[in-house]
Chain A
């Protein structure tokens, strides 16, 4: 059977009534469906730290959540923007400076507010570095898959970049879970190990992007 372009156009016009869901809706739905998987990994492998009630009085414990959520929200906003074909990073990349600025402020705050702080290297290395490097990517993977499914519903013309942002958003969400488990609260620890973990997930997203985000 033949399909001339005029015939195709007529057929597309006949389908004009079909309305697709907004990308944001599909992304949110996919993340909500994947979240229980990450939460189960968290509950079975990690769990909330036992001294959480005391920890909550420590501003550096609270700061971890502010930083990870800032990363997740900025990355969600940018990836939704990148799901439009004509989009570029211009005017949007600065959003990623928010979590970085918060961390820098935290590092400065720790130096000023805690005169009896342990030495820098001790705070940076902490006690959970390896756990942080493995748990965050592990819990991020189901969310990354969901984020890629959500973005597939869009039309990203820079798929590696969009994939990297999907990685950052899932790492931000996974790190939010992880932060409630980890007893290392120093912003120096967060700036080092959380960042490496997030970069790892972003790299996986960037590799997956061109394969799964083509349309």
Chain B
């Protein structure tokens, strides 16, 4: 447990100093933990646990957009779990349930826990279609068609800088729309 969390902190430090691969690995590594905690929260609130994927995506977006509030001298896990807990409470509240979410729900998850059946997420997807065309095109190209920033720039005859701006704005407005729903 301790080791895992130290590894996350290391990966996040690398990510912030510009290592995109480390960031990718970190997000991949935390996702099963977030998913397990979301399932537990849903179950406790009497909701179907297979609805966890929307919450997971919501948490990942918040982690991404708020990562500047992480202090690189502090361990990463408490910061992550605080964001996750906040988002989980929010999601359960939106579903009309008030539950107490324990921070240990996140920390307790064992790395080897088997993957559970999960329904595909729908909320991010639904909001994607309401984005301005340029942001949607760029997000679609990078997320769905797995194109690089460079290839996306070429495809839409944009500069790489403009693609980066559209990508970031797209993620930010997605999050704003999820919050407003």
Instruction: Please give the residue numbers on chain A whose beta carbons come within 8 Å of chain B beta carbons, in ascending order.
Output: 1-23, 83-86, 154-155, 157, 214-215
Contact = CB atoms under 8 A, between A and B. Distances in A.
A15 B68 contact: no
Interface of B: 15, 18-21, 23-24, 27-28, 31, 53, 56-57, 60-62, 64-71, 74, 78-79, 81-83, 85-86, 90, 120-121, 124-125, 128-129, 139-140, 142-144, 146, 148-149, 164, 167-168, 171, 175, 179
A18 B143 contact: no
B120 A4 contact: yes
**B contact face: mostly helix, strand, loop, or mixed:** helix
Contacts, number: 120
Q: Is the interface of A mostly helix, strand, loop or mixed?
A: loop
14 contacts: A1-B125, A3-B125, A5-B56, A5-B121, A8-B60, A11-B167, A15-B168, A16-B15, A17-B20, A20-B67, A21-B68, A84-B79, A154-B69, A215-B66
B94 to A, nearest CB: 11
A11 B142 contact: yes
Given A1-B129, A8-B57, A11-B142, A155 B167 contact: no
A83 B128 contact: no
B82 A8 contact: no
Give the most central of A6, A17, A23, A215: most B CB within 10 Å: A215
A18 B175 CA distance: 16
Contacts of B60: 5, 8-9, 12
B68 A9 contact: no
A155 B179 contact: no
Contact of B171 (A2, A7, A15, A86): A15
A6 B24 CA distance: 10
B125 A5 contact: no
A85 B28 contact: no
A214 B90 contact: yes
A84 B71 contact: yes
Contacts of A214: 90, 179
B164 A215 contact: no
Q: Which 7 A-B pairs have the closest CB atoms?
A: A85-B82, A13-B24, A86-B82, A155-B66, A20-B68, A11-B143, A7-B143
Contacts of A23: 68-69
A3 B79 contact: no
A19 B66 CA distance: 10
A17 B18 contact: yes
A83 B69 contact: yes
Contacts of B90: 214
Contacts of A20: 65, 67-68
A184 to B, nearest CB: 41
A89 to B, nearest CB: 14
B85 to A, nearest CB: 8
